[in-house]
A and B are shown apart, each in its own frame.
Chain A
Amino acid sequence: MTAPVLEVRDLVKEYGEGEARVHALRGVSLTVERGDYVAVMGASGSGKSTLMNILGCLDVPSSGRYLIDGTDVGALSEGRLAVLRNRKIGFVFQSFNLIPRMSALANVELPMAYGGVGAPERRARALAALEQVGLADRVRHEPNELSGGQQQRVAVARALVTSPALLLADEPTGNLDTASTGDVLDIFDRLSASGRTIVIITHEDDVAARAKRVIRLVDGRIVEDRRRIPAGGPPPRAASGTGEDTAAGTVAGAAADVEAAG
């Protein structure tokens, strides 16, 4: 067995100094195997985003170790870290974080531009990724000309266009209506089915229900780690019937269709 995709040991994150000190993470240890689909839940302020930012190499912990594919992230130089973010991690933000005044296509191309992919290949792959999220007809639109759900799907396309081993999503459906939520989650199901490792933060139980493993955070500590399906197995919704939510048959069918088409 190869090293786990993610491994964190005794992760502590503190913000501020003295009186104003906040303990966002109080010793989190977690191992995520390849192909797993993990939902992180917890009350507001429990440290979910803090954990996710560290996992995405966007922030550094106050103490503790973090390994990606067996490499200690804390020991990496700034330059290596940039390469790691670019090649291995796809990050979907709760607030989309698309670059304004750049078309959807240019936004999706951007990670490949920094990754040194040639222009023609870049364009082809960006178009394919946008098609995968169902936005083939919106490639020339700028973020302010897209709906929230469409923006989030562009953000997902940007995260998966480099085929990262690890997809991290911080409340990717928090701002979306039911239909858009379904669209985005279907994409995640398909990615999971194709073997990507996914970690997703959510407040909603029916979003968590589509994951293979649910982790609950309280006050910067993991209080519950429930596995529902083996890491190597298909995601609950794609393997129809194993999901707890019974009202999702149509969405699952749609997801299966898209998958068959892709």
Chain B
Amino acid sequence: MSPFEILRFALRGLAANKLRSFLTTLGILIGVAAVILLVAFGEGASQGVQQSIQRLGANTLTISASFGGGGGGGGGARQQGGPRTQARQLTLEDARALADPAEAPSVKSVSPVVAAEAAVAVHDGASHALSQLIGTHPSYFEAVNKPVEAGAYFVNDDVLAARKVMVIGRTVAEALFGAVDPVGRQISVSGVPFTVVGVLKESGSSGMQDADDIAIAPLPAVQQSLTGFGPLGSIIVQATGADTTETAQAEVTALLNQRHGITPTGTADYRILNQAALQETVSSTIGTFTALLGAVAAISLLVGGIGITNIMLVTVTERTREIGIRKAIGAPRSAILGQFLVESTVLSLVGGLAGLLVAFVGTRFTVAGIDPVLVPSSIVLALGVSVGIGLFFGSYPANRAAKLRPIQALRHE
């Protein structure tokens, strides 16, 4: 009995019950497609988030004052325990101290930052509520990865002279100037006139916040006109490289502890957000998320497999008499076993390939801002599992049928 013959018998068996074969195939199809699609979406989400974190600037530490016992976010480093000495704000002096290359050799640049609340920018009758107005030093642009597209950054001189100049984001430029080139024009923010010197390159909105709805001006200019010379909102520290962020964090911690008079057992009055650590946390979170999705999909694949077992059990039971007849006229066990195994494998393979096709089509679409990314191993896994299911779950009923004595099978009702 040739394999071709066995395949022919199997196909005939499947064709005898088209609807049932189709539904079984559908079960496997959904399982395979779900595994591949969900893993692809998980991978897409992960890559998307990684990119937007990278866009925030690499190798940076964000230091902010901390009050009360609020938990630090992902990557936030805080010393815990012990009585708190008087909490101090972050000051420009702190920032200057951190910029000392002798004390903190791993620090490349330090940018003190203040943010003005609810600032409204007006130009020539058009007004726009800025979601972020930041006063800082020129090093900020590099640290947070915000290149200008038109015009220029402001320079250290502008900071020293507290000049009222400003670099604006694309959203602000469009809201106030439309198609007109904003460089060299004036914007008044809360009545204070600023000259636009540059427009930031569009960075795209990531998540909730529009990263292009921003205006950046020299620190003293913003303090003078808007926030007053109070404490800093935060200090952005850029490390010299990706591998020195940890060292930089240690140096910064040591310096600030000393300046703020924090004992090793005391609670720090500031916290440091490490971009790299954040990235790690986020990607591990998304990894967990993807694994969960994959598990859900794997369950649906398993359910599909149980569907095949069920169908094969029913098929074999229903056709026990037929098996008896075949054995009575001299069918060897291998032919019976082969026929039913091929039947279940064809079902699961066709279902698997169709599921693969559906997954390929599905990953062409962007859903909820996520660009799915096909993961080859998930394809191999899903297809392998679907064929394995066919063989494994099909072999039980097939084996049971092939082992029957002809007369047992023939007497079956």
Report which A residues bind B (CB closer than 8 A).
Answer: 53, 56-60, 78-79, 82-87, 91, 93, 97-102, 110-111, 113-116, 158, 162
Contacts and interface: CB of A to CB of B under 8 A. Distances in A.
Contacts of B16: 101
A91 B1 CA distance: 21
Interface string B402-413: 000111001000
A59 B329 contact: no
Q: Which among A82, A110, A111 has the highest number of chain B CB atoms within 10 Å?
A: A82
Contacts of B12: 102
Contact of A78 (B329, B333, B410): B333
Given A82-B331, A99-B322, A115-B330, 13 more contacts: A56-B328, A57-B406, A59-B406, A78-B332, A78-B333, A86-B331, A91-B329, A97-B321, A97-B325, A110-B326, A113-B5, A114-B326, A116-B1
24 contacts: A53-B407, A57-B406, A58-B405, A78-B333, A79-B332, A82-B330, A82-B331, A85-B327, A85-B328, A85-B329, A85-B406, A86-B329, A86-B330, A91-B328, A97-B410, A99-B325, A100-B322, A110-B329, A113-B1, A113-B5, A114-B326, A114-B332, A114-B335, A115-B330
Nearest to A49: B407
Contact of B333 (A79, A87, A93, A100): A79
Contacts of A83: 330, 332
A137 B57 CA distance: 85
Contacts of A114: 1, 326, 329-332, 335
B106 to A, nearest CB: 77
A99 B322 CA distance: 6
Q: Which among B321, B324, B329, B410 has the highest number of chain A CB atoms within 10 Å?
A: B329
Interface string B1-42: 110010000001000100000000000000000000000000
Q: Which among A83, A91, A113, A162 has the highest number of chain B CB atoms within 10 Å?
A: A113
A87 B332 CA distance: 12
A82 B333 contact: yes
B410 to A, nearest CB: 7
B interface secondary structure, majority: helix
Interface residues of B, number: 22
A85 B406 CA distance: 11
A53 to B, nearest CB: 5
B1 to A, nearest CB: 6
A99 B407 contact: no
A23 B273 CA distance: 88
Q: Which among B1, B322, B325, B330 has the highest number of chain A CB atoms within 10 Å?
A: B330
A53 B410 CA distance: 11
User: Nearest 6 pairs between A and B by C-beta?
Assistant: A86-B330, A85-B330, A82-B332, A58-B406, A59-B407, A111-B329
A114 B1 CA distance: 5
Contacts of B407: 53, 58-59
A116 B333 CA distance: 15
Contacts of A57: 406
Interface string B294-313: 00000000000000000000
A111 B322 contact: no
Contacts of A60: 405
A85 B329 CA distance: 6
Nearest to B333: A78
Nearest to A110: B329
Contacts of B326: 99, 110, 114
A78 B334 CA distance: 10
Contacts of A101: 16
Contacts of A110: 326, 329
A82 B327 contact: yes
A58 B331 contact: no
A111 B331 CA distance: 8
Contacts of A87: 330
Nearest to B403: A78
A82 B335 CA distance: 11
Contacts of B327: 58, 82, 85
A84 B327 CA distance: 11
A53 B16 CA distance: 30
